Structure 1
């Protein structure tokens, strides 16, 4: 019983739910550096390109906060990504980084970067054999979606970015196809997990000592039987 109790203490208490108190997005490394305009309205950040009266563009609107009582190993949405896909005569976006910062409770700031590449297809049958003309455009997360360790309330966690979903999180991928002449929406998802707590060296020594005492006690019982 003593050994079991010690393992419970050294392994740490059961993970509690977390809350996200703020989500702050920004655009970085816009390519090309000319012909692309940035703006914001409320919490939504926007890019526009192509000129004309109906330009193409990206919008990102972070999920409203606070997001309370998030459970580990459960995907949750970071915000809605929108591609405004319209025929354009001018400059075309090639790539951009979408940076999303999450404030965990009153504690650490967890930052994630989505490096987006944009394929503005030519609306010709030869360029889109699998789509009806006009062709769909393709938005892809080009970087390897990694993870970030953080500590909150004395517990170690790992936050991971997952990718896009267009069906409420049932399927999540690193890209999606966007229909010409429409506003195309996808949700960005992430999740956190509880990091394993290594047993300190002193704990292993103590457990070894307790195990030795149990073994000694069993030998003594056999000798006196």
Structure 2
């Protein structure tokens, strides 16, 4: 990993730039802020979109901050189904000439839309599964491909805390079919060698039902629509 010159105990991010830098399988939009895949079954293609957070932004070690908004355009599709995607985010700090880059890996779990009981353990056509079984998206840091930055004499890397939606933070979220599902992508400056805290507790089935009922935001492969 690359080390950058030292910064004060608090640092200011002047710009955040993000682009989808790879996918499995390769789909349309690599190199841009929006991926698209699959053959439309009447509602358009499925996709991922990343919108950077507003800057300037003051950040502190071990304190969460907003990286940007992640959107899953969950549509019924045929053909190519996404399994994984990489998002490369460049953070430009005040006082540093070069960006500090982090690579986040998104695991995509396409579910069978017509299953009686969906992958989240909730009955189909209810709650977040109202329009067919919800898909699951998770995100982790590829630390080996991410830079470090020195703050107050300590080396830090830009880690990912998870998805924030419905007022809580989760390490994955379920996304409703035929909907643009949006969640905040939350990061944290974590000291090199520091262990990650326990993963946030997944939302229970009852909570999923409540979120679905409130039309809130709702990971493997599925048959999205009959061929």
TM-score (norm 2): 0.66
For residue 21 of structure 1, the aligned residue among 14, 17, 25 is: 14
* Partner of residue 190 from structure 1, selected from 179, 182, 187: 187
Match of 1:166 in 2: 165
- Rounded to whole Å, the distance in 1 between the matches of 2:115 and 2:79 is 21
Please name the residue that 2:110 is paired with: 120
How is 1:60-209 mapped onto 2 (pairs within 5 angstroms)? Answer: 60-67=50-57, 69-107=58-96, 108-126=98-116, 128=118, 129-133=121-125, 134-141=132-139, 149-151=148-150, 155-161=153-159, 162-168=161-167, 170-171=168-169, 173-192=170-189
Distance 2:50 2:117 in 1: 28
Q: Which runs of 5+ in 2 are unaligned?
A: 1-7, 126-131, 193-227
2 CA distance for matches of 1:142 and 1:131?
A: 28
Larger Rg: 1
Q: Distance in 2 between the 1:39 and 1:144 partners? A: 18
Cα deviations by residue, 1:112-133 (Å, 9 ceiling, x for unpaired):
1111121111112246142424
Question: Contact 2:22–2:30 (CA<8 Å) still a contact in 1?
Answer: no
Q: Distance in 1 between matches of 2:79 and 2:85?
A: 18
1:159: Cα distance to partner? Answer: 3.1
Q: Say which structure is richer in helix.
A: 1
Are the structure 2 counterparts of residues 116 and 145 from structure 1 closer, same or farther at C-alpha, using a change threshold of 3 Å? same
Matched, 1:31 2:14: no
**What is the match of residue 38 of structure 2?**
50
Contact 2:15 2:92 in 1 (8 A): yes
Q: Distance in 1 between matches of 2:9 and 2:143?
A: 25
What is the SS of the residue equivalent to 2:113?
A: coil
Say if 1:95 and 1:64 are closer, same or farther in 2 by CA, change over 3 A.
same
Gaps of 5+ in 1: 1-14, 196-225
After superposition, the Cα gap between the structure-2 partners of 1:157 and 1:55, relative to the gap in structure 1 and judged at 3 Å, is same
RMSD over aligned Cα atoms: 2.8
